[in-house]
Amino acid sequence: MYCPTCGSNNDDGAKFCRACGGSLTPETQDGPPPHVPNHLVWAILVTIFCCLPFGIVSIVYAAQVNGFVAEGRLDSARQASENAKMWAWIAFAVGLVSLGGFGVFSLGNGINLL
C-alpha cells in the first residue's frame, strides 16, 4: 500500500505511513480533511537546538501547510509540507556541522553559551 501523501511503500493494513505519519485510511467525502504533515515539531526543535535561522524557514512552511489545508488546497499543502521537511533537515545538517566545528574550535576554553 502506497501512502497518498508522500508515496512511500507501507505494509498492507498499516493505519499510518511509516515515513510521513500521514493517514493510510481512504479519504471519504464526509470525513475530516486528509492529514498533511506540517513537520512543525521538527521546525521548533531545530530552531531551538541548531542555532541558525533555517529552522524559522521551516516554521513558515509549516504555517503554509495548515493554511492550505484549511483552504482545501491539498496539492499546495503537500508541496509546503515537503519544503518544511527539507528546511528542517537543512537546519539540522548545518547546525550539526557548525556545532561540531565550533565545538572543536572552542574546545577547552570552558565557555558554554548554547
Partner 1 sequence: MSTDSEIRALTRFRLSPRAGYIALAAVGLVGVAVLYTFDPRNSGTYPICPFLGLTGYHCPGCGTLRALHQLLHGNVLAALGYNPLTILSLPFIAYSLADGAMKAFQVKALPRIFIPHQYIWGLFVGVVAFWVLRNVPVDPLTVLAP
Judge whether 101 and 93 are in contact, CB under 8 Å. no
Which residues, 3 to 22, sit near partner 1 by CB under 8 A? Answer: 8, 14-16, 18-19, 21
Smallest separation (angstroms) from partner 1 to the CB of 58: 10
85 binds partner 1 (CB under 8 A): yes
What does the buried/exposed string (b/e) look like for 34-51 if buried means 16 or more CB atoms within 10 Å of the residue's CB? bbbbbbbebbeebbeebb
Instruction: Candidates 3, 5, 54, 69: give the one binding partner 1 (CB under 8 A).
Output: 69
Smallest separation (angstroms) from partner 1 to the CB of 28: 16
2 binds partner 1 (CB under 8 A): no
Give the list of residues 6+ apart from residue 76 with CB closer than 8 angstroms, or none.
64, 68
91 binds partner 1 (CB under 8 A): no
| Burial (Cβ within 10 Å: 0-12, 13-18, ≥19) of residue 8 | middle
CA–centroid distance for 95 within its chain:
16
Q: Which residues bind partner 1 (CB under 8 A)?
A: 8, 14-16, 18-19, 21, 35, 38, 40-41, 44-45, 47-52, 56, 59-60, 62-67, 69-70, 79, 82-83, 85-86, 89, 95, 98-103, 105-106, 108-114
